[in-house]
Amino acid sequence: MKFVKLALISIVLLAITITLISFFFPSHIRISRATNMKTIPDSIWYYVDDPSRWDQWNTVRLASTSVNWKEKNSNEHIAELQNKDHRPVLSGWKCISMPQADSITVQWYIDFKLRWYPWEKFGSLVYEKVYGAPMEQGLNNLKSVLKH
């Protein structure tokens, strides 16, 4: 009986410790990638605004994802992506141009809002690896599509 009691107390203390550590993790995470493209924003918006064209350049897997546009202006477009099995995330694209520059910087970001759950906070540690490389590849694919 002492062993069971000790094991139960240890498990509870471990769970509390893990939960307290997770409070030091941020509740908002943004994964962002950017690249320069020799084009105009309208060309980029042509491919970004229509999810049916995403297969031509986007490598982030968005199967069974619904897209709800939150904001569109000349420099930034923001969409809420909702997968039936997950919480919605915000994805945004920015076109940043500088005077006298021959190209524009295209930034793509994904915002994750996390709950206080320790498994969500610890799981967020791998978001950079999971989403970063595919986002970078997607921007490179978009650059290639726009050259043709």
Per-residue model confidence (pLDDT) at position 63:
56
The closest alpha carbon to 126, from 116, 114, 137, belongs to: 114
What is the C-alpha to C-alpha distance for residues 130 and 95, in angstroms, rounded to an integer? 24
Per-residue model confidence (pLDDT) at position 148:
67
Amino acid at 25: F
Q: What is the pTM of this model?
A: 0.83
Per-residue model confidence (pLDDT) at position 123:
86
Ranges under pLDDT 70 in the chain: 61-64, 148
